[in-house]
Chains A and B, each alone.
Chain A
Amino acid sequence: MPTATADLPEGALVEMRGITKLFGRTRANDQIDLTLRRGEVHALLGENGAGKSTLMNILYGRCLPAAGEIFIRGVKTIIDAPRTAIRCGIGMVHQHFLLVQAFTALENIILGREPLKRGRIDLRRAQAEVAELARRYGLAIDPQARIGDSSVAMRQKVEILKALYRKAEVLILDEPTAVLSPAEVDGLVEIVRELALQGKSVVLITHKLKEVMRVADVCTILRNGRRIATFPVAEASAAELAEKMIGHRLPVAPAAATAQRGPVTLRVEDLYVNNGSGVPAVRGLSLEVHAGEILGIVGVDGNGQSELVEAIAGLRRITSGRVVFRGRELTNKRPREIIESGLGLIPEDRQQSGLVLDLSVAENLVLKDFRKPPFSWRGLLDSRAISTFAREIIRSYDIRPSDEDIRAAALSGGNQQKIVLAREIARDPELLVAVQPTRGLDPGSAAEIHGLLAAHRNRGRAILLVSFDLDEAHYLADRIAVIFQGRIVGILESAAADNLEIGLLMSGGGAG
């Protein structure tokens, strides 16, 4: 849909200008500019929720921006659907591959674009074309292998070939290394270089500094939906990238700790836990959390944080190692038993894991205790006792609107999080595990939640705080543990910790 042309930087293949995208009240993208030149590997670097994927989903036509323009080869284009993007020569390889399991690699590549001969698929021609593409870009695949039987790296190559077969000039790779082994990453790096060498432009969505340094020519850093900087990678160091990604932050004075650090509440010893695909995500992790302290775990998402938390809570099998809670072995015990022995959990995703959105506020507040008096007797719920308790909690935690009977889905994110927090803190757990407790909340709600967590610590309880936000970790935690590739690679006293040092540890750039 060409409507206007514009003056473009030389060699620009894609030019995005002033892209803004709103999700509710959150600005996922705020006035972002991005220029993509021919033959360039452009890294899009940023923390989770920085707006990288949103920006690329806009370029790929998966969603429409609220404001902003896109120029393809100098022509203003409205990309309203992925098929428009494909027509413009844009291809995207998603983090979760979109392949038909029962089809062969070849069938997947040509799906929807089958060459025909007298109304029938000309498999011979298809195979020749795909083989030629594969040879040209060094993408070795077995075209007859069923996708369901293929390795992840192979599927990724098939996805890339699929895009190339559709004549993509721009290839967007969304977190392409998240699923690969180190050797497979090496292979991918070579493929990306070869693609660029032959004039294709590659956008690499990532939060891994090393990859950027290794393969990208240009890097654009996003933070909180804004573009922070764009510069040639050759001119930057890993430390600079880390600082720009996380933000130049002054250390904040930690919330006053009035409690003495007490005995060890939680001890994790040499823990190994697999992720959903059976790959070890936690690899020999050990840590201790004391009563009366907040231990902050910081790190880039995907380094084993969620697996660690789920393993502690009994929701994921521990393959080896131990979890000892107040001297009691809790390795691979049932979640209920772990909860009863004094673990509170504020999960990362309140809407998926913390709350049953379709149940009422009151019902959510008793999710962990509905089996016990006074909320039930011999299997019969006491709705009056539940309501009384809920009204009390709603009042003391100032949850709005103050109506215990409405569905939890009807509340704002901040108030939903308060339900989770109130439920967990009201149970007065010996150990509270809080994952990203202020994610997506406005500063006011975040401050309230920080206050509640600090108060819990000051009552002499232990808190394990998992955060991607260094400021938050600094502000709340007494000690900071950096997690990288399933291990703790450094523990620092929060007061003495320096953001730069943490940033380097987080990206595997530390001595460990």
Chain B
Amino acid sequence: MIRVVQVRRLFATRVDGGLISASVAIFLGLAFGALILKAAGIAPLAAYAVILKGAFGKPASVMYAIVKATPLIFTGLSIALAFRGGLFNIGAEGQFIVAALAAALTGYYLQLPAAVHVPVVFLIATAAAGLWGGIAGFLKARYGTHEVVSTIMLNWIALHLQNFVVMTTGFRKPDSEASFTIRESASITLLGEWKYSGPGQSWLQDHSVVQDLLRAPVNFGIVVAVAVALALHFILKKTTAGYTLRAIGFNRRAAAYGGIDVERGLVMTMVAAGAIAGAGGALHVMGVAKNIALLTSMEGYGFDGLAVALMGNASIAGCGVSALLLGALKYGGAKMQAVLGAPSEIIVIITGAIVFFVGIPRISRELLRARRARIGRNDA
């Protein structure tokens, strides 16, 4: 219980305060990145110019940044929602993997018309990830197993499950370390088939702006992300389910005294968080990756989601904005390597620094408060 409270204090309590401290933290994170770049013998301003140009220079690169950001919106929202319910969902990574796996399987094996295939794949994959999250919720509610421990373990189980399934004959694409790609009927890439077809190619030749936009794997994922974010906002504010989740998140004990079934609430929160992270995984396979591959390590969607939720102060809008920022940094940062020979890992350092600086004002506030409590606020 105490640990949860401390985790909660890592997030600012009010959105306005969060906005300012997040902006300051982003600035400080970039400044820190500049120091690192300088130390590595690279002109920081030039490097940032490359990132900026890389992410926003052309319509295609904006599209790429959005595509990069889309899964992070989902994992960020997943972690933020769990957090609002008083849980630390480190398992977004595994939930993402489970959904990707389910989407790849159903996308390849089921034969359905696109209008049916897309929603069926999406729903099955999301439900699978919801169950995956629910396991951690159930363990927590029934046995008191801390969700941080169980979700980390579930992440590895998910990873090895995917590797096992990918390498199974029949699903594994021969002479590769990946699965077969999903059927076109399960794809949500915008004009995916058409843009490589003869008429499509010739039409795009004449419309260069559109051609540029479509160079990226533009897909409906971002639309779903926005819809999910809006729905979450509504659910949290306007429904009894949202009220239950918030009451449990703020004070489990008082919620129980008020007649709320806290155990059920914890399970449902983890199911919802799992489903949201899973939606990201499903859409990623359906819109971008089209298959799943043998994983030697975690891909990091869930962990980047942690950064997104922290930067976004666990607010719905905050998650959206910080996911887009992180997506742009990641995509733009990759260009740095090509242009300046600067290692793109710099981006990871900057992200880490931003998260660190987001934490600092809250930690120092806690330290101050602890000190004040010790001395006592004396009216005399």
Q: Report A's interface with B, CB cutoff 8 A.
A: 20-25, 62-67, 313, 315, 334-336, 339-340, 345, 347, 352-359, 363, 367-368, 370-371, 376, 379-381, 383
Contact B376 A381 (CB under 8 A): no
A357: chain B residues at CB < 8 Å are 250-251
- Report the minimum CB–CB distance from A462 to chain B (whole Å): 20
Tell me, in angstroms, the Cα distance from A353 to B246 when the chains sit together: 15
Asked if B239 is at the interface (CB within 8 A of a chain A CB), the reply is: yes
CB < 8 Å: which of B240, B250, B257 contacts A353? B257
Instruction: Kindly state the separation between the CA atoms of A358 and B255 in the bound complex, as whole angstroms.
Output: 12
> Could you tell me if B258 and A368 are in contact, using CB atoms closer than 8 angstroms?
yes
Which residue of A64, A353, A379 contacts B241 across the interface (Cβ within 8 Å)? A379
- Closest residue on chain B to residue A25 by CB atoms: B379
CB-CB under 8 A from A379, the residues of chain B are 239-241
The reply on B259 being an interface residue by CB < 8 A is yes
Q: Answer whether A335 and B239 are a contact pair too, CB < 8 Å, given A25-B379, A64-B374.
A: no
B246: nearest chain-A partner, CB-CB: A359
- CB atoms of A355 and B254 under 8 A apart: yes
Chain A residue at minimum C-beta to C-beta distance from B255: A356
Contact check, A356 vs B239: say whether CB atoms are below 8 A apart: no
CB–CB A21/B376 < 8 A: yes
B380 touches A (CB below 8 Å): yes
B380: A residues at CB distance < 8 A: 20, 22, 66-67
A339 to chain B, nearest CB (A): 4
6 nearest A-B pairs in the assembled complex, by CB-CB distance? A367-B258, A336-B259, A358-B250, A66-B378, A339-B259, A356-B251
A–B Cβ pairs within 8 angstroms, 17 of them: A22-B378, A22-B380, A24-B377, A62-B374, A63-B376, A64-B376, A335-B256, A335-B259, A340-B259, A347-B257, A356-B250, A357-B251, A359-B250, A367-B247, A368-B258, A379-B240, A380-B238
Question: Does residue B13 face the partner (Cβ distance < 8 Å to A)?
Answer: yes
Given contacts A336-B260, A379-B241, 5 further A-B contacts (CB under 8 A): A356-B258, A359-B247, A379-B239, A380-B238, A381-B243
Whether A352 pairs with B254 at a CB distance below 8 angstroms is yes
- With A and B bound together, what is the CA distance between A355 and B258 in angstroms? 9
CB of B299 closer than 8 Å to a CB of A: no
For A368, the chain B residues whose CB sits under 8 A away are 258-259
- By beta carbon, the residue of chain A nearest B250 is A358
Residues of A within 8 A of B375 (CB): 63-64
Are A352 and B253 in contact (CB-based, < 8 A)? yes
B261 proximal to A (CB < 8 A):
yes
Bound form: Cα–Cα A311–B42 in Å = 67
> Are A370 and B240 touching (Cβ within 8 A)?
yes
Q: Is there contact, CB below 8 Å, between A381 and B240? A: yes
Which B residues touch A21, using CB under 8 A? 376
The distance in angstroms between the C-alpha atoms of A358 and B14, with both chains bound, is 11
Chain B min CB distance to A69 (Å): 16
A356-B240 in contact given A25-B379, A63-B376 (Cβ < 8 Å): no
Chain B residues near A339 (CB-CB < 8 A): 259
The chain B residue sitting closest to A382, CB to CB, is B238
Most buried by B among A67, A340, A370: A370
Q: A313: which of B246, B247, B257, B374 is its contact (CB, 8 Å)?
A: B257
Q: A66 touching B250 by the CB < 8 A rule?
A: no
